Structure 1
Amino acid sequence: MAGNSQRRGATRKAGSKKGASVGTGGHSRKSLEGKGPTPKAEDRPYHVAHKRKALAEKRQASRGSSGRPAGLKGGRKSSTHEIVGGRNSVLEALRVGVPVTTVYVATRLEGDDRTREIISIAADAGYPLLEVTRTELDRLTDGSVHQGVAIQVPPYQYADDEELLDLAEASATAPLVVALDGVTDPRNLGAVLRSAGAFGVHGLMVPERRSAGVTAAAWKVSAGAAARVPVARVTNLARTLQEWKKAGVFVVGLDGGGDVPIGDLPFAADPLVIVVGSEGKGLSRLVREQCDAIASIPIGSAVESLNAGVAAGIALYEVARHRA
């Protein structure tokens, strides 16, 4: 009924009456203070930008403070990244520590000792390892034979010409360098690199203009020798040869109308630069003038000339034979 104070819930229990609230006295002021500016994304450990930055720093440290492979002091570099395909080329590059941006492996790859070592080195070095379709690998390598593996390498780091002499001095052997005069096909450059690696050449010299550079095609043909044999790019080949001659290095050019046959190659046991010209034009006039001798390789009349890779291989074999 109305006014019945015995109804359940109609009365307040003893001691439940709320009293005056105590003031905060500034106790909650700290919670209202700001936390400062938001950190940059790359400074937040959980953010993808931070992980990307850490990976970039790791790659930079692996290639040295100058950003080039260990053992090379200065020099110039090419301007674009290159895709190197083929198991031998990729494995040689990884073995010598060439900085790698990405390692690509084909799906359902039939592995062998080389592919297992490639994956192992890439994993230990922390390189990004991507599994892609063979169609994608064909596109990346521009249709060349890749055998299911490829790597993306940063711009090639060219050596300085003086570094080649330093390498020869460190090896305690007479300097042996191959210079290319007007060779514009990167596959020929790769073939010369392969011969150079086989016969212990201390390095190659190429001019900056009208000459092939170390591209993916050169990497492929070199079968990994591009990772072991440094290539120096010089502004003026004739002037560089002149300076080397003053330092006591002999220069022998290869040409069909040479003074001596390749079997009687002069200065083979001395500090030596072998100059190989282009297949069509041969040695340029200014470079020929710097040669101490011109050697020729006897060939059949039905063959007009040998390409640079074959000519360099024959000449380097003769040098090795004389030095032995």
Structure 2
Amino acid sequence: MAGNSQRRNRRNPGSKKGASVGTGGHSRKALQGKGPTPPGEERKGHPKQRAANAALKRERDAKARAGMRRAGGGGRGGRGGAGSAELVFGRNSVVEALQGDVPANALYVQQFIDTDDRVRDAFQAANDRGIPLMEAPRPQLDQMTGGMNHQGLVLQVPPYEYAHPEDLLDEAADSGRDALIVALDGVTDSRNLGAVVRSAAAFGAHGVVIPERRAAGMTAGAWKTSSGAAARLPVARATNLTRALEAYQKAGLMVVGLAADGEAEIGDLEALTGPVVIVAGSEGKGLSRLVSETCDLRVRIPMSGLTESLNAGVAAGVVLYEAARLRAKVG
């Protein structure tokens, strides 16, 4: 019946207007299917994609920071734990470390840093030594330094490779001279350690021994104070200093401790002419009880009554000079 057909969208075959059922268009006007809906991780702006990108960024940041974090501590040139890298930060500190030949793996530079003479000096020193420059955003440097004022420069110092106390005996044997070793008991100032290393190298010692715990380690500050001597003289770390001294005694070395109330003075001390370990304690507490009891002899440095004690760096330097003088006279 006219006007009552169930077919919709009919058109005259000769007409160019109106919809056509089921064609989807022709040629260039044909409709293209979009295929299956992609997973959320691949859809721009989807919550799953944002979560995946955030996880990828965290992974990249973790890899970038690997080996750069200190095990603990803070401030400029703080000391990390055994086997950890150290960070030196702040423009003056970084420049001094680079110019002092402190070993370094990389110099991290803040993006868009405001340059001054110190920044240029740091770039020049790093370039001269072949140290790679790594650009990093400020938030990353803030995280690396624990929020301290890094001023846009962070220097990564590799962990120091300590010798074993027995290695110092091998050093002495290879030199053909009687062993001359310095041991430090409870010295916590890295600058004192660096000064002792410098004096030990200057007066012909075969190495320095330090305890593993409650003592200064070979940090950037110690390297700088040693004025390059740390690259030539081995520093050994002992798990137990008393046992290390006992092992030296069994190897034929005399253990001489420095103490304000020592029973002998260092002047013309015959013990310094043979195989010897010179033990210096901290300025405040001196030698610990066990180390003091282990010493074969305790000696004092004669001083005026106005001065009670010397720090470990100065005291060790005085005794090492005396040892070198007496050894030169003997042989």
TM-score range, shorter chain: 0.5 to 0.7
Match of 1:258 in 2: 262
RMSD: 3.7
The residue number in structure 2 matching 1:231 is 235
- 8 Å Cα contact 1:90-1:224 kept in structure 2: no
Residue 18 (structure 2) aligns with: none
Correspondence for 1:191: 195
Residue 300 of structure 1, CA deviation: 1.7
Deviations 1:141-188 (A, max 9, x none): x889xxxx9853211111111111112222222211110111122221
> What secondary structure is seen at the aligned counterpart in 1 of 2:278?
strand
204, 218, 231: which is aligned to 1:200?
204
Q: Which amino acid in 1 is paired with 2:162?
A: Y
Shift of 1:264: 2.4
Q: In structure 2, what is the equivalent of residue 64 of structure 1?
A: none
Answer whether contact 1:91 1:224 (CA < 8 A) is retained.
Answer: no
User: Is contact 2:264–2:299 with CA below 8 Å preserved after alignment?
Assistant: yes
Q: Are 1:318 and 2:322 an aligned pair? A: yes
- Which structure 2 residues correspond to residues 1-324 of structure 1 after superposition, within 5 A? 78-83=82-87, 85=93, 90=98, 93=101, 100-103=104-107, 109=117, 119-122=127-130, 127-129=131-133, 151-324=155-328
CA 225–151 in structure 1, closer or farther in 2 if over 3 Å, else same = farther
Equivalent pair of 1:177/1:204 in contact (CA under 8 Å): yes
One-letter identity of the residue aligned with 2:320: L
Structure 1 length-normalised TM:
0.61
Cα distance between partner residues in 1 of 2:100 and 2:175: 21
Superposed displacement of residue 89, structure 1: 5.7
Letter of the 1:262 partner, please give it. I
- Structure 1 residues 128 and 282: alpha-carbon distance in aligned structure 2, compared to 1, 3 A threshold: same
The amino acid that maps onto 1:309 is: G
Note the C-alpha offset of 1:266: 2.9
User: What per-residue deviation string (whole Å, max 9, x for no partner) do you get for residues 75-115 of structure 1?
Assistant: xx724322465778646647xxx5x31147995659xxxx9
- Kept in 1: contact 2:126–2:132 (CA 8 A): no
Q: Which deviates further from its counterpart, 297-306 or 224-233?
A: 224-233
Question: Please, which runs of 5 or more residues in structure 2 have no aligned partner?
Answer: 1-59, 67-80
For 1:116 and 1:285, the matched residues in 2 are separated by 49
Q: Distance in 1 between matches of 2:230 and 2:254?
A: 25
User: Are the counterparts in 2 of residues 266 and 293 from structure 1 also a CA contact under 8 Å?
Assistant: no
SS of 1:264's equivalent? coil
Give, in whole Å, the separation in 2 of the partners of 1:172 and 1:121: 35
1:118 to 1:318, Cα distance in 2 relative to 1, 3 A = farther
Number of the residue aligned with 2:57: none
Report the AA paired with residue 248 of structure 2: W
Contact kept? 2:180, 2:205, Cα under 8 Å: yes
Q: Could you tell me which residue of structure 2 aligns to residue 67 of structure 1? A: none
CA distance in 1, matches of 2:97, 2:231: 9
Count of residue correspondences? 238
Contact 2:209–2:237 (CA under 8 A) maintained in structure 1? yes
> Please, which runs of 5 or more residues in structure 1 have no aligned partner?
1-48, 57-76
Q: CA deviation at 1:194?
A: 1.8
